[in-house]
Amino acid sequence: MTFAHLPALEVVVPLIAAPLTVLIRRSAPAWAIAAAACSFSFVAALLLAAEVAAHGPISYHLGSWAPPWGIEYRVDALSAFVLVLVSGMATVTVPYAWRSIAAELPRDQVYLFYTMFCLCLAGLLGMTITGDAFNLFVFMEIGSLSSYVLIALGRDRRAQYASYQYLVLGTIGATFYVIGIGILYLATGTLNIADLAQRLQHVENLRPVLAGLAFITVGVSLKLALYPLHLWLPNAYTYAPSAVTAFLAATATKVSVYVLLRFYFSVFGLHLVSVTLPMPEILLVLSIVAIVSASLVALYQTDLKRLFAYSSVAQIGYITLGMSLTSRAGLTASVVHLFNHGITKGALFLLLGGVALRAGRTGLDRVHGLGRAMPLTSLGIVIAGLSLIGVPGTAGFVSKWYLVLAAIEAGRWWLAAFVVATSLIAVAYVWRFVEAAYLSEPDERTPEPGEAPLAMLLPAWLLVAACVYFGFDTSYTVEAARRAALLLLGAAQ
């Protein structure tokens, strides 16, 4: 076992951990296996990221079959960054799940949660690392199928219906993606992403390629919950177990954004996407509508999980807004926000899981006076909320700052003003929590004073601390995002 096989082990270890947890059938060893697998993936991702930063992209040939015939795993500046986010979030979530899942699931089903969690992680990591378009579809389905199960584990019966809706929409999305890949395969005869990009340059009849682009756009947009295709997201996030919501909110949609970035810039190229088709303009309009409408809907929610689920739809709008600018600054903003929003939402949903455990539900009427009953949890939610708004000193500020810079650089002053103005809507919905938690008197529905268990509070606060840390020290996130943006634009020209 050497470092040479690290790209394969990154995915294979969680994939093997999944059946192991089924065989053992006991929750404590299953938890230990999942924790070990997640930490291994995280360490491996960090090593890969360091290797990529030092020596450039890594190409790993599965089974020693050279691409384009064999499947290639490709780690570059962008995929390494996303790998670190996904495996890092999993490593934070598993210790949290120990208490959280034990409280939410029947005892004899707990080990199955870890099975599905490992499978979901393997799927998401595989989507990120693979350099093969069809392999990506297979990993997408591994990740999606396990996330449908994870969502259906929620205690509320509505979790099952939410999971069913997500299953139907997610499958339509994945099938659209695979139709797009099929058309591209017919046009070029290859499935390797790098090879695909090269051969597409020489395709004479562009119409099928454009059809493929359209299918892939719609399919992946369903998965990343781009505005009119986001309908599965609020219910799924609201009714899923807390640990699942936190993990999926921080990773699943982000990996889909990665796939869209990869196809737009690395495969189709900027010319095809922005000159032949007006994709940036379409993305711009959808992002603006997403930000405004989802933020406004979030304002009127009475349940905190649902409120922040709608806020996720809006925040994805900011990510795609950066993408639509198709400039270096825009893509940097987009990739930084992908990471920063991941840790911010992860922190929020982990803390809300603590509220759900102590108060039974996460309705706004349950958190009156929570600032006194659960001071640490409330403070964490406020700090993560500030990061969501983009207050200076938090991670959210960094990404909004770059987004504003990118808008000004593109000469779109109105867009910069728009980003700042819509942040005010975020102030309003975060304020609703502050008002309930700090300015209202506790009533009979407020939980008794006392924090969530330490096993849940620590991982959540780790992410809250990360929100603040990455707000001050931007050298890692912004540097990685800048390299990723360079890579994407370099491939696109």
Q: Which helix (H) or strand (E) element contains residue 142?
A: helix 133-152
Task: Output 146 or 324, the one with its CB closest to other proteins.
Answer: 146
CB of 133 to other proteins, least distance (A): 10
134 is an interface residue for other proteins by CB under 8 A: yes
CB of 302 to other proteins, least distance (A): 7
What is the distance between the alpha carbons of residues 280 and 211, in angstroms, rounded to a whole number? 17
CB 350 within 8 A of CB 343: no
CB of 285 to other proteins, least distance (A): 24
Enter the DSSP assignment of 447: P
**Which amino acid, one-letter code, is at 374?**
M
CB of 491 to other proteins, least distance (A): 25
User: From the list 178, 233, 416, 481, which residue makes contact with other proteins (rule: CB under 8 A)?
Assistant: 178
The length of the chain is: 493
CB of 116 to other proteins, least distance (A): 11
Enter the DSSP assignment of 72: E
Among the listed ranges 72-80, 181-189, 342-350, 436-444, the one in contact with other proteins (CB under 8 A) is 181-189
122 is an interface residue for other proteins by CB under 8 A: no
Q: How many helices and strands (H and E) does the chain possess?
A: 20, 2
Binding mask 377-416 for other proteins (x = CB under 8 A): ----------------------------------------
CB of 248 to other proteins, least distance (A): 16
CB of 65 to other proteins, least distance (A): 13
Helices 279-299 and 304-324, axial angle in degrees (round to 10): 160
| CA dihedral (407, 410, 412, 413) positive or negative | positive
Q: Which helix (H) or strand (E) element contains residue 39?
A: helix 27-55
What is the distance between the alpha carbons of residues 238 and 427, in angstroms, rounded to a whole number? 21
Among the listed ranges 30-38, 143-151, 336-344, 434-442, the one in contact with other proteins (CB under 8 A) is 143-151
Enter the DSSP assignment of 275: I
149 is an interface residue for other proteins by CB under 8 A: yes
What are the CB-based long-range contacts (under 8 Å, 24+) for 290-294? 290/226, 290/227, 290/230, 290/314, 290/316, 290/317, 290/320, 291/317, 291/318, 291/321, 291/418, 291/422, 292/422, 292/425, 293/227, 294/227, 294/230
Q: What SS3 class is residue 363?
A: strand
Task: Output 170 or 390, the one with its CB closest to other proteins.
Answer: 170
Based on C-alpha coordinates, what's the Rg of the chain? 21
Binding mask 335-374 for other proteins (x = CB under 8 A): --------------------------x-x-----------
What is the distance between the alpha carbons of residues 432 and 105, in angstroms, rounded to a whole number? 30
CB of 205 to other proteins, least distance (A): 13
**In the numeric block, which tokens belong to residue 442?**
């506790």
User: From the list 157, 411, 414, 441, which residue makes contact with other proteins (rule: CB under 8 A)?
Assistant: 157
Task: Output 240 or 395, the one with its CB closest to other proteins.
Answer: 240
| CA dihedral (455, 110, 85, 1) positive or negative | positive
Among the listed ranges 23-31, 42-50, 146-154, 269-277, the one in contact with other proteins (CB under 8 A) is 146-154
168 is an interface residue for other proteins by CB under 8 A: yes
Strands 72-75, 58-61: pairing is: antiparallel
139 is an interface residue for other proteins by CB under 8 A: no
CA 326 to chain centroid: 21
CA 172 to chain centroid: 20
What is the distance between the alpha carbons of residues 29 and 60, in angstroms, rounded to a whole number? 32
CB of 188 to other proteins, least distance (A): 13
User: From the list 143, 197, 303, 480, which residue makes contact with other proteins (rule: CB under 8 A)?
Assistant: 303
Q: Which residues pair with 363 in a beta bridge?
A: 303
433 is an interface residue for other proteins by CB under 8 A: no
CB of 446 to other proteins, least distance (A): 16
Task: Output 254 or 305, the one with its CB closest to other proteins.
Answer: 305
Residues 27-66 binding other proteins (CB under 8 A) are: none
CB of 300 to other proteins, least distance (A): 14
Task: Output 73 or 96, the one with its CB closest to other proteins.
Answer: 73
161 is an interface residue for other proteins by CB under 8 A: yes
Among the listed ranges 73-81, 173-181, 348-356, 444-452, the one in contact with other proteins (CB under 8 A) is 173-181
Contacts with other proteins by CB under 8 A lie at 134, 137-138, 141, 145, 148-149, 152, 157-158, 160-161, 163-164, 167-168, 171-172, 174-175, 178-179, 182-183, 185-186, 191, 302-303, 361, 363
